[in-house]
Amino acid sequence: MTSIDPSAPAVELVGVDKVFNEGSANAVDALQGIDLTVRRGEFVSLIGPSGCGKSTLLRVVADLLPPSRGTASVFGKPAPQARLDQDHAMAFQKAGLFDWRTVRANIELPLELKGWSKADRRARSEEMLQLVKLEEFGSHYPFQLSGGMQQRVAIARCLTFEPKLLLMDEPFGALDEMTREHMQAELLRIYEELDTTVIFVTHSIAEAVYLSSRVVVMSPRPGRIHSTIDIDLGERTDAIRNDASFFEKTNEVRNALRSVEQVAP
Amino acid sequence: MTGSRFSDRAATILVPLVFGAVFLGVWEWLVRAFDNKQFLLPSPSSIYTAVGDNWGRIWNGVEVTGGNAVYGLVVGSILAVFASLIASRWGWFSDIVTPIASGMVAVPIVSLAPVFNIWFGSTDPFSRRLVVIVVVFFPVFFNVTKGLTQVDAVHVELMRSQAASQWSVIRRVRIPNALPFLMSALRLASSLAIISAIVAEYFGGTQGSLGQLITQSAGLSRYDTAWAAVLGASAVGIAMFVAVAALEWVAMPWRRERTGA
């Protein structure tokens, strides 16, 4: 285990290209010339049309995909080392819970992999159940929960060991609008409570603006960073969704996305 | 529990009971009314009597044949599960075994019973047990291999992102994922096991097995006894099926409430 360099940014991508099936006739340029630095404590959203490589970018950071060129570092160390050190946690669009584990056992999975004792795991999973307001559902199996509740369990699972970096791939994409807004508020509360860093992939402009301190707009084929928009809306409340400053920012992101769509063939 | 649920449950038990009783009644009536010859179809009442008269032989047959079927089911399944684990872990093993196994499915394995009798001797129960082992092996192997390999991509990414070892992925993802596949294979294999155990006995072997009792009774025109032995074989088949269902209930608590409650 390599210790974390306190001065290093959370994530640093330098000149990252990703080509699938490189060298063959059906090679796909998924990412090209990606330079991105995410500071500690930032909440960065990646947004862009389908095929812009935002999920691929997330997987390069997570070391689930190796970059074809360039370097990916997490907390100052190479991405593979950060993965082995379990410095980050991932959440997906599909809750991806294990059918055969109770809600509690699902939440405890990352701790099990880290080798925590049973008693410690149990204590922590109780805390996490409270955090996502599912105290009474610890002994239930996933199929007994609604989609929104399952997603909350998935979020609890990726938060159990208080990772310093959260990588979230459209975690609320499959939820209805009301549940989604509720989950966004929940996520922000947890994010502030745990003082962590988040990279969040989304299709929703409002979601990106509401959650983020910075929105990265990507363009497709090949996936590139088109622009970066800082969001400084102050404290997020429900009222802010109806505030003029909120609309201003969503418009800014929308316009960036429009220009991206027009550039795309 | 609501009233409608209770009546639903009662219906699921009552309907087949009533149907079965009506079926037996019509059978009995047809045999009597048309003065059917015993060798065509004995009446239920005469089969019932034959069960009582031959209780010792039938019970002995149940022990011998049921023993072979259970032995073959257990050993065949264990071998198949190990083969699946190896095949899912090492591609080259799968490349060798899968085509052979696919070809073996087309072989009517019970027809090998006389060959096994020559290899191991017809008095050695292993000759019959091996038939069952081979018959059970393939459906279990194919199903479990499928369950071990067709895992949710999100589960694999999740485990990888948490730096889980290969062994950990096998233990925490692949094996639990394969359990439902194993259970449905065992349901199928349990009936295949009793069928192949009996058919193997038609080709010879120890006295006192159900297969022998059926062929001998038929040869002696004791059709009611033959049918009584068939009844014994059915009881073994049902008992094995129920045992597999019970195992399923114990092994997969997360599937229990999906149908019942």
Q: What is the pLDDT of residue A1?
A: 57
Give the confidence band of B2 by pLDDT, cuts at 50, 70, 90. very low
pLDDT digit string, tens, across residues A38-50: 999 999 999 998 8
- Residue of A238 and A58 predicted with greater confidence: A58
The tens digit of pLDDT for each residue in A114-156 reads: 889 999 999 999 988 988 889 999 999 999 998 888 988 998 8
- pLDDT of B67 higher than 90: yes
CB within 8 Å: B161 and A88: yes
B163: chain A residues, CB-CB within 8 Å: 83-86, 113
Position B177 scores a pLDDT of: 95
At residue B34, the pLDDT reads: 78
The answer, for A107 touching chain B at a CB cutoff of 8 Å, is no
Picking from B159, B162, B258 by the largest number of A CB atoms within 10 A of its own CB, the best residue to mutate is B162
* Residue A120 DSSP one-character state: H
- pTM as predicted: 0.82
Nearest to B154 among A94, A109, A144 (CB): A94
User: Which chain B residues have a beta carbon less than 8 Å from that of A100?
Assistant: 176-177, 179, 252, 254
Residue B37 has pLDDT above 90, yes or no: no
Whether the pLDDT of residue B4 is over 70: the answer is no
- Domain boundaries in chain A? 1-87+165-171+198-265
Average pLDDT over residues B129-149: 93
**Nearest chain B residue (CA) to A93:** B154
Q: How confident is the model at residue A166 (pLDDT cuts 50, 70, 90)?
A: very high
Percentage of chain B modeled with pLDDT above 70: 94
Identify the top-confidence range among A20-24, A239-243, B78-82, B206-210: B78-82
Chain A touched by B164 (CB under 8 Å):
yes
- State which residue of chain B sits closest to A91, comparing Cα positions: B158
Question: Does the pLDDT value for residue B238 go beyond 80?
Answer: yes
CA-wise closest residue to A14 among A86, A92, A67:
A67
Chosen for mutation from A88, A100, A159, A161 (greatest number of chain B CBs closer than 10 Å) is A100
Contact yes or no for A113 and B164 at CB 8 A: yes
pLDDT of residue B5: 64
**A90 and chain B in contact, CB less than 8 A:** yes
> Is it the case that residue A264 has pLDDT exceeding 90?
no
For residue B256, give the chain A residue with the closest CA.
Answer: A141
Residue B8 has pLDDT above 80, yes or no: no
Q: How far apart are CA B110 and CA A1, in angstroms?
A: 58
A166 → chain B, closest CA residue:
B161
Contact A64 B160 (CB under 8 A): yes
Kindly report the CATH number that applies to the domain delimited by B40-259.
Answer: 1.10.3720.10
The radius of gyration computed from the CA coordinates of chain A, to the nearest angstrom, equals 19
- Cβ of A83 and B173 within 8 Å? no
Listed by start position, the domains of chain B span 1-36, 40-259
Flag whether pLDDT at A157 surpasses 60: yes
Is residue A52 pLDDT above 60, yes or no?
A: yes
CATH 3.30.565.60 fits domain A1-87+165-171+198-265: no
Q: pLDDT tens digits for A63-106?
A: 999 999 999 999 999 999 999 998 999 998 888 999 999 999 99
Higher-confidence position of A221 and A70: A70
Asked if the C-beta of A100 comes within 8 angstroms of chain B's C-beta atoms, the answer is: yes
pLDDT of residue A199: 96
Q: How many CB pairs under 8 A join A and B?
A: 58
Mean pLDDT of B2-22: 77
By Cβ distance, the residue of B162, B176, B177 closest to A113 is B162
Taking 50 as the threshold, does the pLDDT of residue B261 lie above it?
A: no
pLDDT digits (tens, 9 = 90+) for B72-131: 999 999 999 999 999 888 878 888 888 888 888 788 888 888 888 889 888 888 889 999
**What DSSP string runs through chain B?**
--HHHHHHHHHHHHHHHHHHHHHHHHHHHHHHHTT--TTT---HHHHHHHHHHTHHHHHHHHHHHHHHHHHHHHHHHHHHHHHHHHHHH-HHHHHHHHHHHHHHHTS-GGGGHHHHHHHH-TTSTHHHHHHHHHHHHHHHHHHHHHHHH---HHHHHHHHHTT--HHHHIIIIIHHHHHHHHHHHHHHHHHHHHHHHHHHHHT---TTSHHHHHHHHHHTT-HHHHHHHHHHHHHHHHHHHHHHHHHHHHH-GGGHHHH--
Q: In this complex, do A92 and B179 lie within 8 Å of one another by their Cβ atoms?
A: no
Each residue's pLDDT tens digit, B170-183: 999 999 999 999 99
- Report yes or no: A96 at the B interface, CB cutoff 8 Å: yes
Interface test with A, best of B160, B161, B166 (most A CBs within 10 A): B161
Does residue B13 belong to the interface with chain A, where contact is any CB pair within 8 Å? no
Contact B154 A144 (CB under 8 A): no
Residues of chain A above pLDDT 90, percent: 58
Residues A225-254 have a mean pLDDT of 88
Rounded to whole angstroms, how far apart are CA atoms A244 and A249? 9
pLDDT averaged over every residue in chain B: 87
What pLDDT digit, counting tens, does each position of A98-119 carry? 999 999 999 999 999 988 999 9
Q: pLDDT value at position B83?
A: 92
What percentage of chain A carries pLDDT values higher than 70? 97
Look at residue A238 in the predicted model and tell me its pLDDT.
79
Find the residue in B nearest to A94 (Cα).
Answer: B154
Please give the average per-residue pLDDT across B124-142, as a whole number. Answer: 91
Residue A40: predicted pLDDT: 93
The whole-angstrom distance between residue B44's C-alpha and the CA centroid of its chain comes to 25
Q: Across the interface, which of B161, B164, B168 has its CB nearest the CB of A62?
A: B161
Q: What's the mean pLDDT when you consider all of chain A?
A: 89
